[in-house]
Amino acid sequence: MLVLFLDHAGHGASLEWTVPLAELVESRQPSGMIGKGSKYVVNYLALQHFRKLREALQNQHVVKRGRGIGPLRSDLACPPTMQKWAGLPSAQHFVEQKQLGRVHRTQPWQWPWFTNHSLPDAPKTCASHDGSCGATSRPGNASWWREWWVQYFMDPAVDFEEEGQREDEPSPPWVLRVALKFLLMFVKGGIEYCGTLCVTIGLAARWVYWLMVSIVVVALVQLAYWTYVWVIRPLGRFAVVLVQYLVGRAPWDEVLTHHGRTPFRLVWYGPTGQVAWTAQYVQDKVRGRGTGQAPFDLLVTDGTALARLRHSTVRGRTNRHGFICPCDTVHGSSHRYWRHTIEGANCRVHLCSQSPCTAPEAAEVHVTSSAVVPREVEIDLTELAGKGPFGRCLTATWLLSAQGFYFWKWLGGGACSLRRKCCRLCGCGARPRRGPRPGGEHGSEPSRLLHEWSETESEGEDNAQACQADQLAWEEGGKTQALGREPCKDLALGNSIPVLPADMRLSDKDGLQEEDGVWHVRLCPRHAALYGHSSARRKCAVEGCVELSRTTKGGVRLCKLHGAKEERKPSSGPGTKHSATPDKTTPRRGSAPGDSVAQPDAPTTPRSSPTKPRFTSTPPGLGRAQGETESHLLGLTWDEVASLPDPTARLRAIRAKTSQGREAEGKVEPAGDGAARAEALGKLVRNVALGQSAAKAYQERDPVLGAFHAFLQGA
């Protein structure tokens, strides 16, 4: 509320009216009487309202330049132009309220604003003669800060709106008021800051929202694509192929392929097969071997039925008409008549090179399409031959039931159970007993005769046996090595050769002979030399030991057992030198100087003197190891010398043993010593097959054995 007192123009009179948004505040003066020494100031809280008021007063010629606030007069009424500010209590009412102490004083923060927007100074003279009119002091002076501080902290303000509150009533402590003011300022600033922050957060939230929406959309699109690629399309293709199989237009292998499995793919060879018949097919496939050097099984068909034939090593030659494949048994068949036909022909089938066959007299059964399959692979011959509609439905039902379709599983189980019961009742499910094998009740014939039309140079006697090199394999250097990639066409000569136990794990035992837990194989001279060289390089050098070598002592390979024995040999004294192996030339304790030392493994004559031979002495400049190696090589037998894998060590051993023999030539030799030496040398020569033409190359590579061969011929 504003109570404005203006001096009337030229008459010294005053006008009185009320204006909103302003307050009349009493300044700090000693006098408490209204109109006598009391000064009042006008505080405009809104500059816009002040300008409107000034313009209105100027238009009514009420306020002139140089005029200010006049004395308090209450005998004039408000002009008509200022009726819009009327309606508030009159000046007399204000005086009464002032006397009662209910006038609201000016707030501290309003003083600076008022000093910047105060009215012009008023004249000091007025109509009253008591000297109480006019405004001699204004709040814009320098002393207002001191008064503002005292008023703000020491004199509490009186709320004019509350009727019951007095100026002398107690007010809240100044600390609480300051805290409330700062709290209000903090809340106001926080609201403004939060508003800006909320706008920013809202913008960021919108971006995050659309970003999340886009991510979800992209994820859904990707999920839909993966669902189509990995689920819908495979299921669609599987359903199409399954329907084609049910109607007989697609094989079962296609169904398994679309189902996620990898079936064995058969390749049919022959004039009516997928690939034309060639002699290389017989050499690589029919005579080939799979896991464990086991021969492949042969699948033959007449266009309707299929049979799986199992055979051992296949012999014979191919010609322009085809190849005759002798088999042992019929492992499986899709039709009974086809099994009976093949078994009636003694399991001999002719793999024809042309259709129709140009040699109908070659065999009883002619096949224009055949394939090979490893023995460990299971093949459903009935499925390959082609099932009927009912059989195809049962197969499809079995496949679906195996994947968790419980309804189809129950239906298929019931159908299979009904089918088994029907087969038991009618006897159609009983499988006929297989006929006897061609070799008799105990297996195939031990002798493998060549074909009567064979044109090879290795045709032998009736009881001759073919080389079994294609059945042997061993592991060397982390890889499997086969002695023969294909069946050998030569005959097996000489005695059987023992096979290392470690090699039997990778070899085919079919047709091999077992004696005292050791398997023996019949080989031709060429393969016998190759296998003997390989086994000597890998096995222990001790005679009679068939274990693989694990360590090397003085250039000699030893197995784990014999190597451990050499390491545990006790020493007889601290100053005595010992070799890696016992020195068989040293006489025992307590023996006479003229006694001889028995050497059962050496073919040389015993010495009558215990003196150390000159070949065991260590030459000047050589160490102890060389002397010990010479002693060790001297104690080896001729068979062990022939089995040494190192040519240098073998040559040193032969020189040592021959020099020992030359020293004993001038002495008395017992009867039969020359025959024993010749027998030992002959055994050495026989082990490497020096008398065969196939071993001449091996003889040339080893001149020491060649020299022994010449020595044997001269003896």
For residue 367, CA distances in Å to 274, 301, 318, 378, 379 come to: 14, 7, 15, 22, 19
**CA distances (Å), origin 651, targets 210, 632, 643, 648, 656:** 89, 14, 12, 5, 9
Reply yes or no on whether the pLDDT at 218 is more than 90: yes
pLDDT digits (tens, 9 = 90+) for 582-623: 444 444 444 444 443 334 343 444 444 344 444 434 344 334
Q: What pairing do the DSSP bridges indicate for beta strands 348-352 and 365-367?
A: parallel
Answer for the pair 526, 694: CB distance below 8 angstroms, yes or no: yes
CA distance 155 to 24: 17
Query: What pLDDT is recorded for position 525?
Result: 83
According to the model, what pLDDT value does residue 499 have?
87
pLDDT band for position 222 (50/70/90)? very high
Give the CB-side neighbour count of residue 16, counting CA atoms within 13 A: 17
**pLDDT mean across residues, the chain:** 66
Q: Which residue has the higher pLDDT, 220 or 683?
A: 220
Residues 524-538 pLDDT 10s: 888 888 888 888 788
Domain ranges of the chain: 2-171, 172-263, 264-386, 387-439, 469-538
Contact between 510 and 471 (Cβ < 8 Å): yes
Q: Residue 34's pLDDT band (boundaries 50, 70, 90)?
A: very low
Q: Is the pLDDT of residue 678 over 50?
A: yes
3-class secondary structure, 641: helix
Does 277 have pLDDT greater than 80? yes
Residues 6+ apart with CB under 8 A from 585: 597, 599, 607, 612, 613, 616, 631, 634
Weakest-pLDDT range from 245-259, 652-666, 675-689: 675-689
State the pLDDT at residue 418.
Answer: 80
Residue 227, pLDDT > 90, answer yes
**Nearest alpha carbon to residue 706 among 326, 65, 697:** 697
For 339-381, write each residue's pLDDT tens digit: 999 999 998 999 999 988 888 888 889 999 999 999 888 888 8
Whether 635 has a pLDDT exceeding 50, the answer reads yes
Query: Tell me, what's the pLDDT at 115?
Result: 44
At residue 17, the 3 state secondary structure works out as strand
Percentage of the chain modeled with pLDDT above 70 = 51
Q: How many CB atoms lie within 10 A of CB 478?
A: 5
* Confidence check: pLDDT of 496 > 50: yes
Residue 214, pLDDT > 90, answer yes
Report the pLDDT averaged over residues 54-63.
Answer: 58
Span of 34-38, 221-225, 502-506 with lowest mean pLDDT: 34-38
Q: Higher pLDDT residue, 403 or 147? A: 403
- What pLDDT is stored for residue 355 in this prediction? 86
What was the pLDDT predicted at 99? 54
State mean pLDDT over 543-552: 79
Asked if pLDDT for residue 39 goes beyond 50, the answer is no
- In this prediction, residue 307 carries a pLDDT of 93
Asked if pLDDT for residue 159 goes beyond 50, the answer is no
Q: Is the pLDDT of residue 417 over 50?
A: yes
84-121 pLDDT, tens digit per residue, is 444 444 445 555 555 555 444 444 444 444 444 444 44
- Tell me, what's the pLDDT at 462? 47
Lowest mean pLDDT among 51-65, 579-593, 682-696: 579-593
Instruction: Give 13-23 pLDDT, tens digit per residue.
Output: 333 444 443 44
